[in-house]
Structure 1
Amino acid sequence: MLLSVGTMTGGSTVCHCFIKAGIENIFMIYMGRLLLSVLRAVLPVLLSLLPLFASLSNAEESKKLVTFDYAIADTLSALRQPPLAMAGLAQYRSFYREPLLPDARELGNRFQPNFEYLASLEPDAILISPPAHLNLEGKLSRIADVIKIQLFGESLNIWQNLEQLTREVGGLSDQQQQAEALIDSVEARMSAIAAQIERPGKPLFVAEILDDRHLRLYGAGSLEDMVLTRLGLENAWQGPTNEWGFSILTLSEAFQLEGRFILLHPAYSQYLTDSALPTSGLWQHWLNDTPVSIEANYWPWGGFSSALRFAESLVEALETPTER
């Protein structure tokens, strides 16, 4: 009797084991199919997010670039890879009426930077534009690789140099495709502006009054001359220029010029603040016709972003009737 009971008990145990195993198998099959269906639904989404994950990874690993030149900083900013730090940033910011490179750190004076602070940032490269800052190259090279990019000068093709700058900066910041897209977008915008801009009857002088006796004219080798040429306009100033693309004339020399003047409401001059013309001196009797005035919201030695700002301001100024 005990044996019978034991046999029955053992059989029941075996039966329960088989039932349990069957249930587990069914459950595993069900879960496997459920997992497979979930993977089929989720996998395309995960694959579509891979470029985002890659870009985030590249952003975290992007090089720490420092520059002493605004054209380079301008280009880095346009590529959405602003410089880690910049020399002379406070001075550049004082020329604009809007935030400029808000995430970049200040290195001090452009020609007397804080070398200790610069070294503490551990930059991967320091970008300069000769001939400026060549005297600092020795000290800078002890901190990081110094990369020299020459932009302006009478014998240089500024458009080609800005293209080269954009591509080189794009390569340094792993933004090659974005660099090409920026070049294409600027070229397209310039063509659109050229198609709509008013054609003045006279050649244009792009001028900036420095003080009560001196005038700056932008000519060959300047960003302004490059923009005029790109828009199909004639630059009236064909005289010699320095390595920065401008000439300085005296008041008497300015009175002998004939053409239409585009006056830059000063962004660079430290002598003028609120007036396009000085309130004293002979400038008040300079022209019979009031010259066209542009609020200079760009840097004269900037990148493609600055070139577009000047071009768009020029269109607006030429379309605005001047007071007499």
Structure 2
Amino acid sequence: MIYMGDLLPSGRINFLLIILLKLFVSFANAEESKKLIAFDYAIADTLSALHQPPIAMAGLAQYRRFYRDPLLPEARELGNRFQPNLEYLAALEPDAILISPPAHLNLENKLSRIANVRPIRLLWKGQKVWESLENMTRELGDLSDNQQRAKELINDVEVALAVMAEQIKRTGEPLFVAQIIDDRHLRLYGSGSLEDMVLTRLGLENAWQGPTNDWGFSTLTISEAFQLEGRFILLNPAYSQYLTDSALPTSGLWQHWLDDLPISIEVNYWSWGGFPSALRFAEALVDALDEAGDSAPAPRR
């Protein structure tokens, strides 16, 4: 049993460091690692936490744009996720190729000529995000012969979120989790998203209760965003190929809208990732709320 006690902020940090060290410990002493190829970041991220990182990944360069630390430094790049270098992939002689349906299904026949293709579902129909991530983690644990580590990973993340929930500085009102995607549109994360799952686990309320797509977000125009009332958590950088990693729109209505935003998070996770991404988002959110404290501006009206 892990004693949580009345951890001070420094205690919370030390506790999380222990968990992260367990997640990303060296694999050098592993008896024999399977040679796995991943076509999705949630799969790759979870495999790394299970001490079985993929030897190569499709779309790796794109994912690295949204990550602040070295991502899978030992993994090889296979090119575009939907147009991988099949000759190079075959030369790696993988034991299995892991895809995430419905994406990549059009590649399944070609990939199956190289190695066994294993579809790994990320979102299970009729299940909540937490349950879906549990299923994915256990499935990858079975695939990589790391069933015990899969159980430990699920427990570690659950305990870490419980610790943070006890210590978080609550704003006393629901929160919007928002991301600017271009000069005219805003993305809000709601039901079915990793962000919404983390808010719930931390005992916070998601202010966005509108309908969401299959990926757990809604897209609003700038005029619709101006009509929302409440406190915003702004994810930075924006999820857009048209904006740089270090800048948000600096002209037009967005700039005025940004003046009233109290809390901003530097994104260091993948919104459609696994439990490691959920933990990184939770930690960033808790730190942002701690820093904002009582000095945060009033919610916009």
TM-score surpassing 0.5? yes
Of the candidates 224, 237, 256, which is equivalent to residue 266 of structure 1?
A: 237
| Rounded Cα–Cα distance in structure 2 between residues aligned with 1:154 and 1:217 | 21
When you count helix as a share of all residues, which structure comes out higher? 1
Which one-letter code corresponds to 2:177 in the other structure? V
Query: What is the aligned residue count?
Result: 268
C-alpha displacement of 1:314: 0.3
Q: Determine whether 1:167 maps to 2:138.
A: yes
CA shift, 1:290, in A, is 2.4
Letter of the aligned partner of 1:121 in structure 2? L
User: 1:275 Cα deviation (Å)?
Assistant: 5.3
Question: Within 5 Å, which residues of 2 pair with 1:127-138?
Answer: 127-138=98-109
Q: Which residue does the alignment assign to 1:63?
A: 34
Q: Which amino acid aligns with 2:138?
A: R
Identity of aligned residues (%): 75
**C-alpha separation between the residues in 2 aligned to 1:304 and 1:177?**
16
In structure 1, the residue matched to 2:112 is 141
List structure 1 runs of 4+ shifted beyond 3 angstroms. Answer: 152-156, 274-277
User: What is aligned with 1:105?
Assistant: 76
Look up the match of 2:121: 150
Matched, 1:201 2:169: no
> SS where residue 286 of structure 1 aligns?
helix
Q: Cα offset for 1:128?
A: 1.4
Q: Is the 8 A contact 1:85 1:105 kept in 2?
A: yes
Structure 2, unpaired ranges of 5+: 1-27
CA deviation vs aligned residue, 1:100-127 (integer Å, no higher than 9, x gap) = 1011111101111011111111211111
Does the 8 Å CA contact 2:181/2:238 hold for their aligned counterparts? no
Higher relative contact order (CA 8 A, sep 6+): 2
Aligned ranges 1:241-320 → 2 under 5 Å: 241-266=212-237, 268-273=239-244, 277-286=248-257, 289-320=260-291
How far apart, in 2, do the equivalents of 1:155 and 1:256 lie? Answer: 32
| Letter in structure 1 aligned against 2:137 | T
**Cα RMSD between the aligned structures?**
1.9
CA contact (8 A) 2:238 2:248 kept: no
Q: 1:206 to 1:99 in 2, by over 3 A?
A: same
| Unaligned stretches of 5+ residues in structure 1 | 1-54
Distance in 2 between residues matched to 1:219 and 1:204, nearest whole Å: 11
Q: What's the offset of the Cα at 1:81?
A: 1.0
Change in 2 beyond 3 A, CA 1:219/1:155: farther
Which one has a bigger Cα radius of gyration? 1
Deviation at 1:277, TM superposition (A): 3.8
Which one-letter code corresponds to 1:298 in the other structure?
Answer: Y
Match of 1:237 among 179, 186, 208: 208
Does 2:100 match 1:118?
A: no
Task: Using structure 2 for the length normalisation, give the TM-score.
Answer: 0.84
Task: Label 1:274 to 1:229 Cα distance change in 2 as closer, same or farther (>3 A).
Answer: same
Which amino acid letter does the alignment assign opposite residue 130 of structure 1? P
Alignment correspondent of 2:156: 185
